[in-house]
Structure 1
Amino acid sequence: MTKKHIRINMEDSEGARYDIKLDGNVTREKVLKIFEMMDLMNIEEEQEPTNMDSVGSKISNIVDKFFPMGKFTSTNILEKYEDEYNEPVKLSIISTYLSRFATKGRVNRTRNGREWTYQTIKIPQKQQ
């Protein structure tokens, strides 16, 4: 098993900076605890403006819009992509982006027979 390295740099609304470094056996639960800590400290993630010109942002939009919960495959994304944007895209391109999303912790990726299934990772929100 390879060692993972994650570094998170944050700045709150008052200008204080936070550097968090995770090395070794980094699990989903540990990352979720970091996000919970950020929530307790009222540190919000910067929202990058979405550029719908790139294939990756379009695939991300499809995942968010049509599959916020439940499992999906790259073929499901391909069908929705072509319906939504009325343009062709190769299945291999979609698979590559979904693999990248899994590496970045945006979706869970599991092998199911001959294909991969994906599921969006939702960070639990505090009840107000």
Structure 2
Amino acid sequence: MTDSKTENAIMVDTLAADALMPHVRALAETIGPRPAGHPEEAQARSYIRETLAGFDLTDIEEMTFQTADSWGYTTIFATTLALAGYALGRTGRTGSLMGSAANLASAAAFWQMLDMRRSTLARLAPPTPERQPDCAHCADR
């Protein structure tokens, strides 16, 4: 049986930069980018689950939610809208007004993406289920 002082020392050592760096490298370099719903995301989720199990944190609940396949879709849609706005702007007065509206919509979509909000254009992207380990239940330990 350990006292709370020993448990705190173990937790501090676990959260020290030297102890965390191998995990950061594994997630960032070994597994690499992990778009929602792709195999790399499942690999990262498995790695996190195994790492937490090594600390006897096994009561982990996965939260599943729908998300766009990647931010790439938002970028492609917004860029296409901007290019269409540019082309429309060269077709006369009405086209210029329509092009301006398209460019404003494109700018708004980019702003939403950069502000980490769900873009209005995200509805055009195929939805992908994303699962994230939730360790909120482990906080009591």
TM-score, normalising length from structure 1? 0.29
Structure number having the greater strand percentage: 1
Question: Which one has the largest radius of gyration?
Answer: 2
TM-score, normalising length from structure 2? 0.27
